[in-house]
């Protein structure tokens, strides 16, 4: 499936905080994205939480239940009426879930604490990692039902899948840790399972460099990306 945009401008996802505390699309969302969709080729609404225990904001928009489908459909239709394509941004925050939100859970590739003041996460077991894959796949299928034109997966900016890529966070001693190829195996599994589950174009957002000593550097990312492409 090919995504054809009317121009090359894409409105990137930003956290509006306009939801109602239950993850629903509101009239304020519709008004905001109605204006933004008039000129750009595509709009990526704010990151959609896939489980209410994985929120970054109390007023974040969700895609975690079928009850959200009606509101999200209205959002996509609003963007389409403006002439833009709609792209669903799916993200698992991992250890970067907001510690101030009651009920949030904190997991990661390992139990390395979040440097920005987050909670110390639990290291995911392989069974729990399979649950994460299912969470992404279920959310992707729901996005396809809603009518989104494409998906964007967050593999950068320090969120869960980036926490597997990062040698600073991923200190596993199983086959999901080690060199870049091993660290990338779980994020690539998520990508592969989504591609099998839905017929939507897929964008993957990656931080080329962590800009930190001991972190991923740009030359490594380029080399490994070319290797994966081969």
For residue 36, tell me if it sits in a domain: yes
For residue 74, tell me if it sits in a domain: yes
In the three-class reduction of DSSP (H, G, I as helix; E, B as strand; rest coil), residue 191 is classed as: helix
For residue 133, tell me if it sits in a domain: yes
Picking from 190, 194, 202, the residue whose alpha carbon sits closest to that of residue 160 is 190
For residue 152, tell me if it sits in a domain: yes
CATH number reported for the structural domain that contains residue 205 in this entry: 3.20.20.70
Active-site position among 18, 33, 49, 159: 159
Tell me, what's the pLDDT at 225? 61
For residue 106, tell me if it sits in a domain: yes
Which residue stretches of the chain have pLDDT < 50?
A: 230
Whether 49 is catalytic is: no
For residue 52, tell me if it sits in a domain: yes
Tell me, what's the pLDDT at 115? 82
Residue 27: both structure tokens together: 């009239």
For residue 157, tell me if it sits in a domain: yes
Name the residue range of residue 21's domain.
10-229
Is the whole-model pTM more than 0.85? yes
Angle at 160 between CA 158 and CA 161, to 5 degrees: 95
Distance CA 150, CA 3 (A): 7
Tell me, what's the pLDDT at 165? 94
User: What's the domain count of the chain?
Assistant: 1
pLDDT tens by residue, 66-75 = 999 999 999 9
Helices 69-81 and 27-36, packing angle to 10 deg: 30
Picking from 41, 90, 104, the residue whose alpha carbon sits closest to that of residue 62 is 90
Tell me, what's the pLDDT at 11? 97
Residue 157: both structure tokens together: 């900016």
Tell me, what's the pLDDT at 216? 80
For residue 40, tell me if it sits in a domain: yes
Tell me, what's the pLDDT at 89? 98
pLDDT tens by residue, 148-192 = 999 999 999 999 999 999 999 999 999 999 998 999 999 999 999
């Amino acid at each position: 499936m090919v995504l054809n945009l009317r121009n090359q401008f894409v409105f990137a996802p930003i956290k509006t905080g306009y939801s109602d505390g239950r993850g629903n699309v509101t009239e304020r969302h519709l008004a905001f994205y109605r204006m933004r969709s008039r000129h750009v080729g595509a709009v990526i609404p704010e990151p959609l939480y896939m489980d209410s225990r994985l929120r970054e904001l109390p007023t974040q928009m969700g895609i975690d239940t079928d009850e959200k489908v009606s509101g999200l459909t209205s959002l996509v239709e609003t963007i389409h009426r403006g002439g833009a394509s709609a792209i669903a941004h799916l993200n698992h925050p991992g250890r970067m879930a907001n510690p101030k939100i009651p009920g949030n859970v904190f997991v990661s590739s390992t139990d390395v604490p979040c440097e920005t003041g987050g909670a110390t996460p639990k290291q995911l077991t392989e069974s729990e990692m399979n649950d994460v894959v299912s969470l992404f796949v279920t959310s992707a299928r729901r996005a396809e039902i809603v009518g989104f034109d494409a998906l964007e997966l967050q593999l950068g900016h320090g969120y869960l899948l980036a926490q597997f890529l990062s040698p600073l966070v991923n200190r596993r001693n199983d086959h999901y840790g080690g060199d870049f190829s091993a660290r990338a195996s779980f994020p690539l599994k998520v990508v592969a399972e989504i591609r099998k589950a839905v017929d939507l174009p897929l964008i993957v957002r990656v931080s080329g460099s962590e800009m930190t000593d001991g972190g991923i550097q740009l030359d490594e990312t380029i080399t490994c990306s070319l290797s994966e492409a081969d």
